[in-house]
Amino acid sequence: MDKIIKIENLHFTYPGDEIPTLCGIDLEIERGSFVAVLGHNGSGKSTLAKLLNAILLPSDGKVTVSGIDTADKERTLELRRTVGLVFQNPDNQIVANLVEDDVAFAPENLGVEPEEIRRRVDDALKTVGMYEYRMHAPHLLSGGQKQRVAIAGILAMQPDCIVLDEPTAMLDPIGRREVVSTVSRLCREKGITVLLITHHMSECVDADRLIVLSEGKVVADGVPSDVFADADLLWSEGLSVPATTKLLYELNKSGINVPLTAIKTDDCATAVVNALNLVK
Amino acid sequence: MLKDVTLGQYFPGDTAAHRLDPRTKLVGVLIFIIALFSAVNWISYGIMLAVTIACIAISKISIKTITKGLKPLVVIIILTGLLNLFYTQGDVLISFWVITITKQGLKRALFMTSRIILLICGTFLLTYTTSPVALTSGLERLLKPLSKIKVPVHEMSMMMSMALRFIPTLIEETDKIMSAQKARGADFETGSLAQRAKALLPLLVPLFVSSFRRADELAVAMESRCYHGGSGRTAMKRLKMGSIDYLAFTLGFIMMFGVIALAYFGL
Ligand SMILES: Nc1ncnc2c1ncn2[C@@H]1O[C@H](COP(=O)(O)OP(=O)(O)OP(=O)(O)O)[C@@H](O)[C@H]1O
Ligand SMILES: [Mg+2]
């Protein structure tokens, strides 16, 4: 299948730092897939995100998105239109005092015609379910709503890929659910490639693929159920596992045979019921 | 307490005052200020007052909002009034101890204070009825000729719009830090002026630090959204002058020349 992101032997060191932040990352991400990225604090997740749209440039190696080399200065604008970044703090990425003006910011920068901008803004706001709030002041919205406005602001560029850097870290559970369901809908319905960087294990369960970063290296990469099945590795990386994995793991340890890969709540319940029936 | 600050705030609405082109309003305020500083007698001040009241009425901004905006400046207004009242030479009206009040002083104090109040009302009406984005794009268009002589007009107006955007955020944050410090026993309300100023220090330091972090994140977010300066930028909301704008201009110029004429002929 078509690979939208290609990362080859990527190394990155912040200027003035001794220790490299990223050392030797090789990744290929398929177009239209939903990929979650996990890693403890300081493992280099945000750095990786910023390398994808040329906010940072590789110290060594190569990053290509939709065939555009991020080091190609001539095509930086085209690259940034293709891959949109959503950040953790919604307050620091909203640029206007009116929701619709904020969403219009990126297409205005790209020099899109006014009528077309209007259309894109309305479309984007409808997609994230914030159309009724278009005339509101962003600072009066809830965290989840602000973050959805930020996503709409990216959608208005009509990107192929959206990278979200811990978009739910500052939100309550309701806001978190709003954002994650919006993002996964974008992926499933619009075919937009999603790279979700997160600290919440539950948000990784629905992903097509899970990548675990540690000390600037990829330490695990695969289908979430397989990655989580290796709970020892995640624990040794200072990460937790979903509650379902933990339960299955403990059951296994006490001699009840259940598959560790049943990480979705329904699957886990079924697995446990089956196991209990067997025991009886 | 800080939530009351209305400086630079925008109150969305759909009145004629809101619908005016931002350029009309900006030039209108300029005309208003010129007229205000040309006013020298009772009739011209009466006209200015009537115009201000009419504008407030049209914009449907509540009197309470206006007075709230005036509140932080009360000290300056009173001080100006008193200085003019006591330090103007002329025909003595009242005189006791070291204080003398003259007829001219009284008149001047009244004129000066009304001038300041009307000036504040006029400029506040501009920000109350114009969204910051409209305001800055209006300003940018008006000042565009200056970019020919290398004045960074776009950058300046972008900075202004970001400043206006972050006023509510920073106020919210100040409130939060204040509450946090109060909970740990900080006292911002009592003590001498020096003591209170000192109590503000632990408030300013975190605010300062976080502003820099915000600025950094904002810059990255703007770049990620393809911001690359003013070249090749378009605007979703195109500025358009309508009949209502021409009407406003006509009325504004009549007011200005009327007031100047009144001063010139010494009526
Ligand atoms: N602007 C910078 N200059 C120098 N070093 C930096 C800079 N930003 C991050 N670092 C360092 O790079 C390392 C990786 O940081 P990064 O922000 O990518 O981690 P992260 O995985 O996103 O962590 P978190 O979960 O806390 O967001 C850290 O050790 C950090 O101190
Ligand atoms: Mg990070």
How high is the pLDDT of residue B8?
Answer: 63
> What is the C-alpha separation between B265 and B117, in angstroms, rounded?
26
**Same domain for A261 and A159:** no
Are residues A158 and A261 located together in one domain of the fold? Answer: no
Q: Is A74 on the interface with B (CB under 8 A)?
A: no
Residue B1 pLDDT exceeds 60: no
From the CB of residue B27, how many other CB atoms can be counted at a distance below 10 Å?
18
Strands A60-65 and B92-96: unpaired
Cα angle for residues A140, A143, A146 (degrees, 5° grid): 70
- The CATH number of the domain holding residue A156 is 3.40.50.300
Average pLDDT of chain B? 85
Note whether ipTM > 0.90 here.
no
Residue B7 reports pLDDT greater than 80: no
Q: Identify the pLDDT of residue B201.
A: 82
> Is a pLDDT exceeding 50 seen at residue B242?
yes
Mutate to test the interface with A, among B225, B228, B234, B239 (most CBs of A within 10 A): B225
pTM reported for the whole predicted model:
0.83
Claim to verify: residue A46 and residue A182 sit in the same structural domain: yes
Q: Are residues A278 and A193 in the same domain?
A: no
Minimum distance, in Å, between the CA of residue B70 and any CA atom of chain A: 23
Return the beta strands (E) in chain A as ranges: 3-12, 22-30, 34-39, 60-65, 68-69, 83-86, 161-165, 193-197, 209-214, 217-222
Which of A235, A222, A229 minimizes the C-alpha distance to A267?
A229
In what helix (H) or strand (E) does residue B102 lie, and over which residues does it extend?
A: strand B99-102
- Looking at the structure, do residues A81 and A176 belong to the same domain, yes or no? yes
CA separation for the pair A266, A250 (Å, rounded): 18
Instruction: Say yes or no: A171 and A275 in one domain.
Output: no
How is residue B59 annotated by DSSP? Answer: H
Q: Strand, helix or coil at A87?
A: coil
What value, to the nearest 5°, has the Cα angle with vertex B210 and ends B199 and B128? 85
Q: Which residues pair with A23 in a beta bridge?
A: A11
Taking only residues 83 to 122 of chain A, the set having a beta carbon closer than 8 angstroms to any beta carbon of chain B reads 84-85, 87, 89, 91-98, 100-101, 104-114, 117-118, 121
Q: Which residues have CB under 6 Å of ligand 1?
A: A 14, 17, 21, 39, 41-47
Which helix (H) or strand (E) segment is B213 a member of? helix B193-224
**Amino acid, single-letter form, for residue B91:** D
Residues A181 and A249 in one domain: no
Among A13, A40, A45, residue to substitute to test ligand 1 (most atoms within 8 Å of Cβ):
A45
> Which one-letter amino acid corresponds to residue A153?
G
Helix, strand, coil percentages, rounded to 5, for chain B: 75, 5, 25
- With contact defined as beta carbons under 8 Å apart, do B263 and B39 qualify? yes
Rg of chain B over CA atoms, in angstroms?
Answer: 23
CB within 8 Å: B220 and A50:
yes
Summarised one tens digit per residue, pLDDT across range B21-73 is 999 999 999 999 999 998 888 888 998 999 999 999 998 888 888 888 888 88
Radius of gyration of chain A (CA): 20
Q: Which helix (H) or strand (E) holds B140?
A: helix B132-143
Let me know whether A150 and A72 are in one domain.
Answer: yes
Rounded-to-integer distance, Cα B186 and Cα B238, Å? 49
Q: Tell me the pLDDT of chain A (280 aa) as tens digits.
A: 689 999 999 999 999 988 999 999 999 999 999 999 999 899 999 999 999 999 999 999 999 999 999 999 999 999 999 999 999 999 999 998 889 999 999 999 999 999 999 999 999 999 999 999 998 888 889 999 999 999 999 999 999 999 999 999 888 888 898 899 999 999 999 999 999 999 888 888 889 999 999 999 999 999 988 888 888 888 888 887 888 888 888 888 888 888 878 888 888 888 888 888 877 7
Instruction: Kindly list the residues from chain A whose CB atom is less than 8 angstroms away from the CB atom of residue B225.
Output: 80, 84, 95, 105-106, 109, 153-154, 157
Both A170 and A268 in one domain: the answer is no
Beta bridge partners of A25: A10
- Which B-chain residues 9-38 have CB contacts (< 8 A) with chain A? 10, 12
Residue closest via CA to ligand 1's atom 24 equals A41
Which residue in the set B214, B226, B237 is minimally distant from A81, CB to CB? Answer: B226
B243 touches chain A (CB under 8 A): no
Out of A80, A95, A114, name the one closest to residue B165 (CB). Answer: A95
Substitution target in A53, A55, A91 with the highest count of B β-carbons within 10 Å is A91
Q: How many domains does chain A contain in total? A: 2
Shared domain check, A264 and A237:
no
| Positive or negative torsion for Cα B187, B193, B195, B196 | positive
Question: What are B113-155's pLDDT values in tens digits?
Answer: 999 999 989 988 898 888 877 888 898 889 989 888 888 888 8
Question: Which of A54, A53, A45 lies closest to A25 in space, CA to CA?
Answer: A45
> Is B210 in the A-facing interface, judged by CB distances under 8 Å?
no
Domain hosting A124: range is 3-241
Would you state the pLDDT for residue A9?
94
A32 with A146, same domain: the answer is yes
Q: Are A186 and A162 in contact (CB under 8 A)?
A: yes
Task: Using alpha carbons only, give the angle B68, B73, B74 rounded to the nearest 5 degrees.
Answer: 85
Q: Are residues A125 and A208 in the same domain?
A: yes
